[in-house]
Amino acid sequence: MEKFDCAIVGGGMVGAATALSLSQLGLTVALIEKYQPKDFAPEQDFDLRVSAISLASQHLLEQLNAWQQIARWRVCPYRRLGVWELQSSYTEFNADEINQTHLGHIVENRLIQLSLWQQIEKTPRVKLMCPDAVISFEQNEDCLALTLESEKQLQVKVLIAADGANSQIRQKAGIGLTGWDYAQDAMLINVKTETSQQDITWQQFFPTGPVAMLPMPGKHASLVWYHQKQELARLSQLTNEQLTNEINQHFPPRLGQVQVVDKGAFSLTRRHANQYVKGRVILLGDAAHTINPLAGQGVNLGFKDVKALQTVFAKAIGEGQAWHASDTLANYEKARRYDNLLMMSTMDAFYSAFSNDNPLLKAVRNFGLMAANKAPLLKSKALAYACGV
């Protein structure tokens, strides 16, 4: 039986970042993942799955020595964020307002994971077990015993679930959820653009859901089209040429002419675990919470979880306490639960406010956007919070 301080199930962005973060504290880590990310080549098309990486998330990736490689591959920085429903209510957030050079970067999820894996391969304290999965585990008073698909037996002090929204570890641990499915779905669309690389990401709201543009390197962009489930099912069946025509009809003129390269649709759900810690099982990232993607905060919340767990463990180790004690694990949940809930509730408020076609509510929300432009202090504070600075 192999012994480790921690076992992490899920080697995606959050799980891989957790493995490296905890190894920096001197802990030994088993990282268990079913699938290996595909290698990168510059000539590859852009992946559909991208993230708006905040400044705080960038700083974490720099700390883990992963950002440097990501930046050498391909990223797109953005300095501005535009939001509007009516053109008269257009509101723009700018990096200058918080004394930063940029607000964040649009990055393909796979490249983040791949760079983290490259660092893991250089880290003797992390053992990557791929392909593999946890079949069962048993919690004892001072450890957990894990059985893997490979028939390996592991003994660890804590088991960390970073295995996504449908977390098997969360289910096996008996941790419940609260949440719901939203009435809308979302479509991700990779396009070639007539305009050169832009430094702005924008979102226009409609009663049927917003449309958004995320800039990508070169003459490319990632579009997000929120709509009712039935309409997105129809759009998903269109050819790329037909979908291009639909985009040109329904997206704002500032997008310019585009050509669809790839597309895919996914459902929108809100899920929040009833607890982040149960015994020696800890939930991070989507295993603990999934959020409406309106502001692109999903993976950034996951990286905040990673940083909080590292900070809590480091404090306990520094004070000569047991980093795996129940009180220490509880401090992680205290550090993250309220912040995650606040961001989830804020996104739900935006979703509810802008998905209603009531004329009075429409006037109120557009007035609110216009008022934001006239309250620079409040605007900059909200922007700094979203960026994690």
And the tokens for 231? 């309409």
Question: Could you give the strand order of the β-sheet that contains 277-278, starting from the edge strand earlier in sequence?
Answer: 126-129, 29-32, 6-9, 158-161, 281-283, 277-278
DSSP string, 229-280: HHHHHHHHTS-HHHHHHHHHHHS-GGG--EEEEEEEEEEEEEEEES-SEETT
**110: phi then psi, degrees, rounded to nearest 5:** -60, -35
State how beta strands 153-156 and 2-3 pair.
Answer: parallel
Q: How confident is the model at residue 355 (pLDDT cuts 50, 70, 90)?
A: low
What is the pTM assigned to this prediction? 0.93
**Which strands form 144-148's sheet, in the order they lie side by side?**
2-3, 153-156, 144-148, 134-139
Which domains are seen in the chain, by residue range?
2-77+103-179+270-353 (3.50.50.60), 183-268 (3.30.9.10)
Write out the two tokens for 49: 């799955």
| C-beta separation of 267 from 165 below 8 A | no
Q: How confident is the model at residue 374 (pLDDT cuts 50, 70, 90)?
A: low
pLDDT band at 85 (very low <50, low <70, confident <90, very high): confident
Calpha distance 86→57 (Å, rounded): 32
Residue pLDDT, tens place only, 48-60: 999 999 999 999 9
Answer for the pair 55, 389: CB distance below 8 angstroms, yes or no: yes
Q: Residue 268 — pLDDT band, cuts 50, 70, 90?
A: confident
Mean pLDDT over all residues of the chain? 91
- Tens digits of residue pLDDT in 236-257: 999 999 999 999 999 999 999 9
Q: How confident is the model at residue 366 (pLDDT cuts 50, 70, 90)?
A: low
